[in-house]
Amino acid sequence: MKSKFTVATIFLVISFLTSCQKEPNVSIQIDCGEQNSEETFLTVKGKQVGQCPLDIKVVAGEINIQAQRDYKDTSYRHIEKNVTLAENTTKKISLDMSKLQRPEKAWFLRVKDISTAEEYIENNPNGSHLNSVNQKLSEYMEAKIWTQSKGDLESLEHYVKAYPNGQYTKLANTKLAEIKIDNQRIAKEKQRKKQNKIANEKTGTVTVKKLMWMRCSLGQTWNKDKKTCDGKAKGYTHNQAISKAKNFSYSGYNNWRVPTIEELESIVYCSIGKPKIDSNGRLDGCPKGYNKPTIDQEKFPNTSSDSYFWSASPYAYITNDFQIVSFNYGSSSTDGRSANRYVRLVRPIQ
């Protein structure tokens, strides 16, 4: 015979079960200290009940309380605490959430400099991002060495040696080239000043590479007091220049002559670098940015910037043309013998 449950019977069962459930009879005040925030969530007896801080009523007995705060970089703070509560009491519960938990991803997302890269490696010695972080660490260390570089020859050479294919190597090599050019210029200037001591300031001559030169162009006069050439240089045709040099007497010597093209080119001075050379082996101008005139003004003062000087060397391809040097550009060219050009005489030192 089957039993039948009436509606009245079911109602009685529900009423009985309901009467057995206890009403909340304990007040608890949950506090998370510095982590009190709308982002800190509380769970009591496995049920999320709100954010910390929170006042709530629960049933007396042993309860489990958990608090969790999550961050965008996947790090988090978590605390779990079991508490036994007596009936009809008020209990303040403090949760210590000071410890920050970081999974490997969080450590990796923090990597932005040497210290954070080293922290990742220390805390994740077998991490899945280890190769990537080691590469970043190398780049950070390279950037630090570059930043701390004084920009001098020694530190730049140290960087290039340590990082031959580094991210700043091209720039370092450019700066090295600039420094070396500048050092060459300084050394050249020192050598020039040293050679200038040879200059005879009384007679207006100067010795350069076993040749004695007149410091002034023909037409100018040496001023020994001011150590300069007074007046303007005079222009001569080539025949006049050769004739003028014959038996020309100056500073106690009468074996002066018009210089060869090689001799005349030897006193071209570029304030930056060296003169370019053309396909015929002749000077083709100073590098961009040079000072004019292209001659040492301490040895040969008051030389005109726009000046062309005769050499004694004929031009093999055109009859009656002779080679000349421009101290405006620091280059060699040719001109017809009837042109008027300046003259600077030279004599060999025996």
Amino acid in the structure at residue 73: D
Does residue 79 contact residue 97 with C-beta atoms inside 8 Å? yes
Residue holding tokens 């060296």? Answer: 274
* 111 lies in the same domain as 85: no
Q: Which residue has the higher pLDDT, 57 or 188?
A: 57
Mean pLDDT of the region 246-251:
92
- CB contact at 8 A, 287 and 337: no
Whether 40 is covered by a domain: the verdict is yes
Say yes or no to pLDDT of 334 above 90: yes
Residue 280 one-letter amino acid: N
Residues 335 and 282 in one domain: yes
For residues 205 and 343, membership in a common domain is answered with yes
Q: pLDDT tens, 218-242?
A: 999 999 999 999 999 999 999 999 9
Q: Are residues 245 and 349 in the same domain?
A: yes
Judgement on whether residues 61 and 167 belong to the same structural domain of the protein: no
**Of 64, 94, 124, which marks where a domain is finished?**
94
Percent of the chain with pLDDT over 70: 91
Tokens of 23: 């009403």
Bond preceding residue 164 cis, omega within 30 of 0: no
The bridge status of strand 26-31 relative to strand 89-94 is parallel
- Work out the average pLDDT over 197-209: 78
The reported pLDDT for the residue numbered 322 is 98
Residues 215, 158 share a domain: no
- Is position 9 within any domain? no
What's the CA gap between 221 and 110, in Å, rounded?
A: 78
pLDDT score recorded for residue 1: 46
Q: How many CB atoms sit inside 10 A of residue 54's CB?
A: 20
Domain count, the chain: 3
Answer yes or no: do 259 and 337 share one domain.
yes
pLDDT at 191: 78
Q: What percent of the chain has pLDDT over 90?
A: 72
Same structural domain, 232 and 340: yes
Range of the domain at 155: 105-191
Residue-level pLDDT at 31: 97
188 pLDDT band (50/70/90 cuts)? confident
